[in-house]
């Protein structure tokens, strides 16, 4: 009950602290859009799905309902103003975190996030929808008044004579009339056919392996458009589909440089078979392909076998 009272108090303070809009300013900003923009600055484990679902509610309500979906390993809460210490007296640490997060205003230093925040895919899609909705529409020019005209003397019509039809020259073929102007040229047939292939549509599925360190690296490093999920493209499974890019990832977290030489050779040969299969499927569906490895030694070994391979050192550990 004490925690609920804290949220109610924050809602009241938020309403009282809002100043009346200036007559020179446009209509007040959409509170749902404001909530989405604020949520975009935080790290989420669900891609921001909860924040999008609760964006129509006041921010303190969204903060309470979606608190568990935050990436708590990357975020710290500090009661800078001191008001949450009283409201959360005797409550768990979660109560203090929600109280700080639910504050109607953003206090510098109250919420500290480690690392770079990548906007959750659900929030990104919602903001893109707002951007498209807010684009100004082109209106037709206003109709100008028709000037008055003076009557002209009546003129007798002249009999119309039809010109004799001209025979087309056998050497020249008539040019086809354009179907319309300002239309972009059609896409190349091979691109259209590839994009229409149903097997090229990315299909999320739960991570196949139970290696938590590997799965965490696959979700956070590219970063993964579908956290907690592998993605199936062209009938082949990949560890991640990168947010904001048409690129599929395969993640390797082996500490390759600690293996004996004969184990390294055996591991590289096994990986090359898998990589070639994935590269072929990605290219057939128009995707880029990236391999993420934990060490420079692993990267060098792969490039020695496939010099054109796109390999990135993630630094992820097991």
Q: 150-160: per-residue pLDDT in tens? A: 554 555 555 55
Task: Specify the pLDDT at position 317.
Answer: 83
User: Has residue 22 been placed in a domain?
Assistant: no
Task: Specify the pLDDT at position 85.
Answer: 63
User: Has residue 38 been placed in a domain?
Assistant: yes
Task: Specify the pLDDT at position 236.
Answer: 96
Task: Specify the pLDDT at position 113.
Answer: 85
Q: Pick the last residue of a domain from 78, 109, 133.
A: 133
| Positive/negative CA dihedral, 129, 131, 134, 136 | negative
Nearest to 72 by CA among 107, 46, 108, 38: 46
Structural tokens at position 209: 């392996």
Q: Which domain holds residue 240?
A: 197-313
Nearest to 37 by CA among 120, 115, 94: 120
Same domain, 120 and 210: no
In which residue ranges of the chain is pLDDT below 70?
1-29, 85-94, 134-196
Encode pLDDT of 54-94 as tens digits. 999 998 888 889 988 888 888 888 888 777 765 444 434 45
The count of structural domains within the chain is 2
Cα 246 to the chain's mean position, in Å? Answer: 11
User: Has residue 49 been placed in a domain?
Assistant: yes
Task: Specify the pLDDT at position 160.
Answer: 55
User: Has residue 219 been placed in a domain?
Assistant: yes
Q: Pick the last residue of a domain from 102, 133, 164.
A: 133
Structural tokens at position 85: 């210490």
Q: Pick the last residue of a domain from 94, 111, 133.
A: 133
Tell me if 211 sits within 8 A of 252, measured CB to CB.
no
User: Has residue 236 been placed in a domain?
Assistant: yes
pTM of the predicted model as reported, rounded to 2 decimal places: 0.43
Tell me if 121 sits within 8 A of 225, measured CB to CB.
yes
Query: Dihedral of the CA atoms 61, 62, 68, 72 (nearest 10)?
Result: -110
Same domain, 235 and 114: no
Task: Specify the pLDDT at position 186.
Answer: 37
Task: Specify the pLDDT at position 165.
Answer: 55
């Amino acid at each position: 009950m004490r925690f609920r009272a804290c949220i109610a108090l924050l809602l009241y303070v938020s309403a009282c602290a809002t100043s009346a809009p200036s007559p020179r300013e446009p209509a007040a900003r959409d509170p749902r859009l404001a909530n989405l923009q604020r949520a975009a600055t935080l790290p989420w484990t669900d891609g921001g799905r909860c924040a999008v679902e609760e964006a129509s509610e006041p921010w303190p309500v969204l903060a309470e309902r979606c608190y568990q979906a935050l990436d708590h390993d990357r975020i710290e809460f500090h009661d800078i103003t001191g008001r949450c210490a009283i409201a959360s007296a005797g409550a768990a640490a979660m109560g203090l975190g929600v109280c700080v997060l639910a504050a109607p205003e953003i206090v510098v230093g109250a919420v500290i996030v480690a690392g770079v925040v990548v906007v959750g895919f659900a929030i990104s899609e919602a903001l893109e929808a707002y951007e498209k909705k807010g684009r100004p529409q082109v209106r037709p020019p206003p109709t100008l008044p028709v000037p008055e005209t003076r009557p002209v003397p009546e003129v007798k019509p002249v009999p119309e004579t039809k010109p004799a039809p001209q025979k087309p020259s056998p050497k020249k073929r008539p040019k086809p009339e354009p179907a319309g102007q300002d239309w972009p040229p059609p896409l190349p047939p091979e691109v259209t056919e590839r994009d229409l292939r149903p097997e090229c549509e990315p299909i999320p599925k739960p991570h196949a392996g139970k290696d938590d360190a590997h799965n965490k690296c696959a979700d956070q490093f590219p970063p993964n458009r579908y956290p907690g999920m592998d993605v199936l493209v062209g009938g082949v499974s990949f560890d991640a589909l990168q947010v904001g890019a048409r690129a599929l990832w395969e993640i390797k977290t082996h500490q390759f440089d600690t293996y004996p030489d004969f184990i390294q050779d055996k591991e590289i040969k096994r990986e090359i078979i898998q990589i070639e299969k994935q590269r072929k499927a990605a290219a057939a569906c128009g995707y880029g392909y990236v391999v993420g490895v934990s060490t420079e030694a692993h990267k060098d070994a792969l490039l020695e076998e496939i010099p054109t391979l796109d390999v990135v050192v993630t630094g992820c550990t097991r």
